[in-house]
Amino acid sequence: MTALNAHLPALVFIAGAGQLALIAVSLAIPRVLRWREDTAKLRPLTRQVFWTYAAYIWSTNLAFGLVSLRPAWLLDHSPLAACVTGFITAYWVGRVLIQFFYFDRSDAPPGRHVRLAEAALIGLFIYLSLVYGAALLHNLEVFGLEVFGLEVFGLEVLGS
């Protein structure tokens, strides 16, 4: 686990770069999936809410990407860093679960490129889930078995 701890700053930095790449690529998603044509059928308010939410998700990913370019901030063992890394972990784990258990792929565009892009995206989501999960455990000092002071199975696990 100490080996993982040593590489964690680099892994978090790569996760940040990955999220910045994701937001760059995701600018093409509305065109590939023809959202503009589809949402044109909606009432103005629902259409505007759709695009506003899309923009907010995009900017949230941007913020996660930018803050991850400063791994020391996210790995400083502080309660705030633990909560932020926990939050980002839940965000990406949820995204992986939605991909596998919620999205209907029956009318996804055909083609090898689309399948490859989808596989790359899922790979990235899984990587992000794992890295931020590891960062959370690092902040909770689980690797050193010292997490904010609670004794679990004879080991100090919550709150020192």
Query: What are the residues binding other proteins (CB under 8 A)?
Result: 33, 35, 38-39, 41-46, 48-50, 52-54, 56-57, 59-60, 63, 66-67, 70, 73-74, 76, 78-81, 83-84, 87, 91, 94, 98, 102-108
What gap in Å lies between CA 145 and CA 82, rounded to an integer? 15
Give whichever of 109 and 123 is closer to other proteins, judged by the CB atom.
109
Closest approach of other proteins to the CB of residue 109, in Å: 10
Q: Which is nearer to other proteins, 95 or 134 (CB)?
A: 95
CB atoms within 10 A of CB 134: 23
- Three-state SS string over 120-137 comes to HHHHHHHHHHHHHHHHHH
Nearest distance from C-beta of residue 87 to other proteins, angstroms: 5
Residues 147 and 156: beta-carbon distance below 8 Å: yes
